A = this chain, B = another copy of it.
Amino acid sequence: MRIGAIEAGGTKFICGIGNEQGIIEERVSFPTEHPDRTIGNVLDYFKDKSIDAMGIGSFGPLNIDKNSPLYGYVTTTPKPGWENYPFLGMLSKFFDIPFGWDTDVNAAAYGEATWGAAQGLDSCVYYTVGTGVGIGIYSEGNLVHGLVHPEGGHVLTRRHHADDFAGTCPYHGDCLEGMAAGPAIEGRWKVKGSELPAVHPAWEMEAFYIGQSVSNTILMLSPKKVILGGGVMHQKQLFPLIRSEVSKNLNRYVNADEVLGAMDEYIVPPGLGDNAGLCGALALGLRALSERS
């Protein structure tokens, strides 16, 4: 089986070919530009690959409602050319194969549930903390879509007592993304997170915000695994700090061994590492193929 996979990010596109074991056999990457150019690159890459199905996890907001005439569209993004753009339709016009289509974070959650840290579980939550914050939710064996799709990166949070940073979110100011995404770290400390030392008050503050949101997510959804990915989470010192915040916040209220005793295995990095998104797209493609047959 040869499955096409696209991890369509706001900054770059990764396209690859994988198989039913979740192995990515080849891949390419190019910057996200005007869709005429970017989708042209995608079509060029896949045109001679003889793929059986394709899965796409895309930056959003998206229309992922199968009953909508706008299913497969990127919707209200300010990114030039992408607003109300029929992403899926531009591909399905050229390839008569089953397509899987979902948000980038839902794809990553699904990849992790299929081959990664949540393999075999019927629920997990996947965070990406990078240029923005996104949350994908897999619950009771389904990806959560709902009315539009979750936008959990924008939840309102309590402020850290020592933080007077205004927040970077143009909509909400000091929501989670506004306080904890990469640009917030850089805005607050005047240096990129990747240039800060591993021991620095920035990480305690970062863990405060992410830990607060993870605590609330555990209370709201009781996921079987919490997976934290994205560029900011390459700072591995964040994991113990976040677990400590969650433990403090929940205060032994959630009575499950996973939460009370084994948090090192409950709040974890992606099992697929930086391949979570692309493998997730692959898993979406495989699922689309199995649903058609």
Contacts and interface: CB of A to CB of B under 8 A. Distances in A.
Nearest to A151: B219
Contacts of A251: 171-172
14 contacts: A135-B220, A139-B139, A139-B140, A140-B140, A140-B142, A140-B146, A147-B258, A151-B219, A152-B220, A155-B219, A156-B212, A157-B158, A158-B158, A172-B249
A198 interface: no
Copies of this chain present = 2
A155 B221 contact: no
A68 to B, nearest CB: 11
Nearest to A172: B251
The 3 closest A-B pairs by CB, nearest first: A146-B222, A140-B142, A171-B253
Nearest to A249: B156
A145 interface: yes
Contact of A137 (B221, B224, B258): B221
Contact-residue size bin, chain A (C-beta under 8 Å from the other chain): 35 or more
Contacts of A172: 249, 251, 253
A92 interface: no
Could you say which of A145, A149, A221 has the most chain B C-beta atoms within 10 Å of its C-beta?
Answer: A221
Given A76-B255, A147-B258, A255-B61, A220 B140 contact: no
A141 B140 CA distance: 10
A147 B224 contact: yes
A23 to B, nearest CB: 29
Interface in A104-120: none
Interface string A239-273: 00000000001111111101100000000000000
